[in-house]
Structure 1
Amino acid sequence: MKNDKERTTSLDDMFGDFAELVLENVTIELDELKIALRPMVQQMAKAIAGPALDIPKSLIPASFKAPLGQYTQSIQEITLGATKGQGGSRGNTITIGGHTAPAWDLFQAPPKHRPIIAADVFDMPISLAKVVKTHYKEVLDDPAEWAKLVVNKFGADAVTLHLISTDRSLGDTSPNDAAKVIEDVLQAVKVPVLIGSAGDPAKDGPVLAKAAEVCEGERTLLCSATVDVYEEVAIAAKKHDQVVLSWTSIDINQQKELNRRLFEWLTPEQIVIDPTTAALGYGLEYAFTIMQRMRLAGLLGDAELRFPISSGTTNAWAAREAWLNNPELGPRELRGPIWESVTALALLLAGNDLFMMMHPAAIKTLHDLVDWMSERQKVKPEDYPDWTSLAIPEGT
């Protein structure tokens, strides 16, 4: 009789070759029964897997060609300010424009000149958001001291003096009295000074004409000529060799028309364009699109649009969300400057050259951002394809 060990293997020996085994009228008495079922998926996988593939040891070589556009013109270079050797009294000049490629297209060409920030100064106390006013409350009554503050403490590249008191509904200041304020500011700072009017059609022409006379030799920017008020401003700019800001309201055709009118008196070296800045949340995308289209049109040869672009970035504070006392929107001390900074950043990428700004934190943020973006110019475009070996600098 077979022993127990032999019996434990006899079933496998007897029926191992059969695909199916059916037992009828059989009673099996066992202390322990183990049944092993082979997973069908594994069996099928082994059947179709075939031989194992080799693990790749290197990346497939690939070439990269930077997308380069064909541009026939460059943006006009404009110099603001004049030193003593140039017939003025400024300590330095600033130059904008001169670009040969879309904004910050480092594959094609870096910006010819870095963007400029001109801090806003007003010739009378005005209503300001609390988070802005806290930085200027000690100088609101003194435009000259205000100008010193934004240059010496906040690092503005230039000053935009807004003569809003000349408005008939405000102070109705005469052009001669406004000229005295201009002289005070010119003596207070040595950076280029830009002159802004009040937006009163009846007063803007005479005020800016007087400003052009007072700033003889200083190469200032007269802000601004519009479709309603341009002839008197252009004639004064031609006579005293000043630059004119050509301002329109987010309308390319209107901008082209105004520039054509200015060509009757001014050379291309005397025009900067301002298609209007709409704040974040209030049409910023329209301002961005118009500025970008103007920049590209100028590069492609449109003689009526190949000019540096200016932005009244302070318009960001016209958005009530920038200063509204609403805890759900976060602290105003941060929200407001961020609102102005984001507005500036968007327009920087669209191709803006001259920023008129207000909050010190926003001014610093844009300065730092331009510095950082300018550092990226040192990376050669031909190095970009080897992206797998690029090291990310600390702090970026």
Structure 2
Amino acid sequence: MSDKLKLSDLNNILKDLDVESLEGVTIEGDIELDIQGGGGMNPAMAYALGHEAAQISLHVANIARMLGYPVDQLFAQCLGAGGEAAALQTEPAIEELLQAKFDVARSSEWNTPIQEVTLGATSADGGSRDHTITLGGEKAMPFYFDAEMPNRNYVTMDVFDMPISMAKAVKSNYEDVMGDPAEWAKKVVNEYNADMVTIHLISTDPLINDTPAKEAAKVVEDVLQAVDVPIVIGGSGNPQKDPEVLEKAAEVAEGERVLLASASLNLDYERVAKAATDYGHAVLSWTQLEINAQKELNRKLMKQCNVPRESIVMDPTTAALGYGLDYAYSNMERVRLSALMGDDELNFPISSGTTNAWGARESWMKQSPLKEDSDWGPREYRGPIWEIVTGLSLALAGNDLFMMMHPTSVQVLKEITQTLYGNIEAKNPDITNWITAEV
């Protein structure tokens, strides 16, 4: 028979041996607790043991409840006076939730509406356009159901003054008109429902055809006569030649209130700005994904070149899906949020070169150059989807004007944005036949 040892005995032994603590020591044996009411036990230990016993009883009661036994009724009988069942004390039932207002668009920090800019001029304004287009005016981020957008998004489709290399999926739509910019402009307006036309005078580049500015201006006249929608006039991107080209183009388009694309910090923006103010046009302020550069250029256009606020549209640069779209989105969103919060150097409508999506190899290559890569799918679908996703992402960041190329991309993006805007009633598609659906 083993000896019994009290904790007090063990404590005395360790005390005599001058032991203050035990480490790595295991004491084996059975523990007997002699609990007598009224004294002898440390109150803290008694409380702890009582707590554990109560927890065990609750777990057992829950098991009984799961098995269907009326545990609550038993508790009521045990707790009731004189053996009579007593009602359990419960929290009062919730009859009504506190009223909460879901108000996503109204931010106290958004106190400045975006500057409105009107493009195009009708006969009443001294021009020949059938209608005008107004960008901007928002008081919140786009498409909030409780914040009206005074003006919808618009699409301007690209036209070039000479045949250029382009993705097969795009080129197949324009092969019959690529040699005639005026006919090209007619096609995008009449067949593809473009809101505006952008005529790119790329042949003026000294490294391409070096077309004289005066000759390029004749192309602008032809396009203005061919269509009656507002237009955008772009140069070739050559910083030495573009100011001269845009000056001549602005002169022949006097009275039509076109958008000159573009003024930037790496060319003589003063000449472009002066051409715009002299002939009554708007200026596209183009920077490269840098918010401080955008502020600087806008400030110079306003204060140094005296361009009116209602004649400035920004292009903070579009990076395509897979090639920096997240950065382009973040930059554009920062620009728009700063504008809504009162930054008067950024408080302008935004334009996106959504066509840049076709610069991504995934949009036009037949398949991946990597043998171990997965199938990319048909590029006839993939390319337009690339342009749609790029545009739609930037629409959510606050973009107002999209420069695009593929007719399907234009159709889909316009349908989505105008549905969100409220011009088109949303339809609930039948997805029950998704297995056999054809695309």
TM range, normalised to the smaller chain?
Answer: 0.7 to 0.9
Residues 72-125 of structure 1 deviation map (CA, whole Å, 9 limit, x = unaligned): 211010000001111111111100001111122222x12110011000000000
Q: Distance in 2 between matches of 1:76 and 1:190?
A: 25
TM-score, normalised on structure 2? 0.74
Verify: 1:346 aligned to 2:346, yes or no. no
| Partner of residue 251, structure 1 | 290
Map 1:1-396 → 2, pairs under 5 A: 41-42=63-64, 46=69, 48-50=71-73, 60=97, 62-67=99-104, 68-70=106-108, 71-107=110-146, 109-229=147-267, 230-263=269-302, 264-265=304-305, 266-326=307-367, 328-375=375-422, 394-395=428-429
Residue correspondences, number: 343
Q: Distance in 2 between matches of 1:395 and 1:78?
A: 37
Deviation (angstroms), 1:293: 0.9
- What SS is found at the alignment partner of 2:203? helix
- What SS is found at the alignment partner of 2:173? helix
Q: Distance in 2 between matches of 1:48 and 1:253?
A: 70
> Residue type of the partner of 2:418?
D
TM-score, normalised on structure 1? 0.82
Residues 157-189 of structure 1 deviation map (CA, whole Å, 9 limit, x = unaligned): 000000000001101001000011001101100
> Residue type of the partner of 1:325?
K
- Unmatched runs of 5 consecutive residues or more in structure 1: 1-39, 379-391
Change (3 A) 1:393 1:154: closer
> Residue type of the partner of 1:195?
I
Residues 287-317 of structure 1 deviation map (CA, whole Å, 9 limit, x = unaligned): 1111111111111111100000000000000
Q: Distance in 1 between matches of 2:63 and 2:181?
A: 84
> Residue type of the partner of 1:114?
R
Does structure 1 retain, via aligned residues, the 8 Å contact 2:314–2:348? yes
- What SS is found at the alignment partner of 2:150? coil
Deviation (angstroms), 1:375: 2.5
Q: Distance in 1 between matches of 2:344 and 2:99?
A: 41
> Residue type of the partner of 1:367?
K
Does structure 2 retain, via aligned residues, the 8 Å contact 1:110–1:377? no
> Residue type of the partner of 2:297?
L
Q: Distance in 1 between matches of 2:420 and 2:142?
A: 11
Deviation (angstroms), 1:135: 0.4
Does structure 2 retain, via aligned residues, the 8 Å contact 1:341–1:365? yes
Q: Distance in 2 between matches of 1:173 and 1:329?
A: 40
Deviation (angstroms), 1:45: 5.8
> Residue type of the partner of 2:346?
L
Higher mean displacement: 145-154 or 227-236: 227-236
Change (3 A) 1:59 1:320: farther
> Residue type of the partner of 2:133?
I
Q: Distance in 1 between matches of 2:201 and 2:111?
A: 39
- What SS is found at the alignment partner of 2:314? strand
> Residue type of the partner of 1:46?
Y
State the percentage of identical aligned residues. Answer: 52
| Partner of residue 34, structure 1 | none
Q: Distance in 2 between matches of 1:41 and 1:86?
A: 83
- What SS is found at the alignment partner of 2:172? helix
- What SS is found at the alignment partner of 1:202? coil
> Residue type of the partner of 1:64?
K
Q: Which has the bigger relative contact order, CA under 8 A and spacing at least 6?
A: 1
Deviation (angstroms), 1:394: 3.6
Deviation (angstroms), 1:48: 3.3
> Residue type of the partner of 1:342?
V
- Unmatched runs of 5 consecutive residues or more in structure 2: 1-61, 77-87, 368-373, 431-439
Change (3 A) 1:393 1:377: closer
